[in-house]
Amino acid sequence: MTARRCGRTWRFRFGACLLLLVAAPALAWNAAGHRISAMIAWESMDAGTKSAVGQLLRRHPEYERWQARAHGGDPELTAFLEASTWPDDIRKDRRFYTAGREEPTATLPGFPDMERRLHWHYVDRPVNPGAGTGPAGGVIDRQLAVLARIVGDRQATIAERAYALPWLIHLVGDAHQPLHAASRYGLDGQGDNGGNLVSIVNPFAARYPSMSLHRYWDDLPGPPWLRDGRLASAARSLTALHRPPTSPGTPEQWLDESWRLARERAYPPGDNAVPTISATFHEDALAIAGRRVAEAGYRLADLLQQLLHSGPRLEDRNDR
């Protein structure tokens, strides 16, 4: 997610299992949400697609950093999980820059440039279409199609495809977070930046009860430090609760689902300036988040199998 799409932590329940979390900086979904979706996708993909994905990620310039940071037993799975959070991780990486706010930094080998591309993570479609609004901010709707085309293009360079793949993995997850597809606008045409400008009180987060509505949603999938056995257990819990969708759908449909959820269920009811999250709303939000994280994983697996079903054929263009 982007700099405007960030959060802290609290607790998330998979079915009857309650995970108690500690507060720590996170990104949206937050790292746990993206890793859980990635784990579900990995377990859903066939061996050929896993191999193709692994070959491409091995060509990414961050591959060695991912391995050193995660210390995973399976290098291909490790790279896949780390790639799922990489577009958020670079927000705090000084090698990268934010366009319009900072001067460009030196381009390192393997990268097209070092821009953080914050506008790729969301699209601000109004949940109240009657309000006066300008063009929707964010380009996730367009960028998902662009990235999928690059990843599946055997005529693209390996560097292009290796760079695009982590972004595609990540943005599939982002597209399933309701407040990454919508904003609420006032009569003056000013939006709430996907709930980032809506302050709420969350009584279920004892240490950090005051937060933005967007941050509240970002943290629903679990603690950002979730890894290894606990990550696998969380993924299994969600796949037990939520079977694969009957149809994988399209990115446009995923975003439309998120927009409808944002319009109907992402905002607390009432007109309080700073609403307090109720137990009923909280339970519903937890269920929605769990289902959306699982759907993102299943759909990511299906998409990658479509794009890479015959393997990446790196040997064809490994000189570029």
The full DSSP string for 217-242 is HHTTT--TT--HHHHHHHHHHHHHH-
- Determine which helix (DSSP H) or strand (DSSP E) holds 35, and give its type and residue range: helix 31-44
Residues 81-97: tens digit of each pLDDT: 999 999 999 999 999 99
* Single-letter amino acid code for the residue at 138: G
What is the predicted pLDDT for the residue at 124? 92
What is the predicted pLDDT for the residue at 133? 65
What is the predicted pLDDT for the residue at 287? 98
Do 255 and 140 form a contact (C-beta atoms < 8 A)? yes
Q: Alpha-carbon distance 78 to 57, whole Å?
A: 10
pTM of the model: 0.88
What is the predicted pLDDT for the residue at 127? 92
Give the chain's residues under pLDDT 70.
Answer: 1-28, 130-135, 310-320
Cα angle 145-308-50, degrees, rounded to a multiple of 5: 120
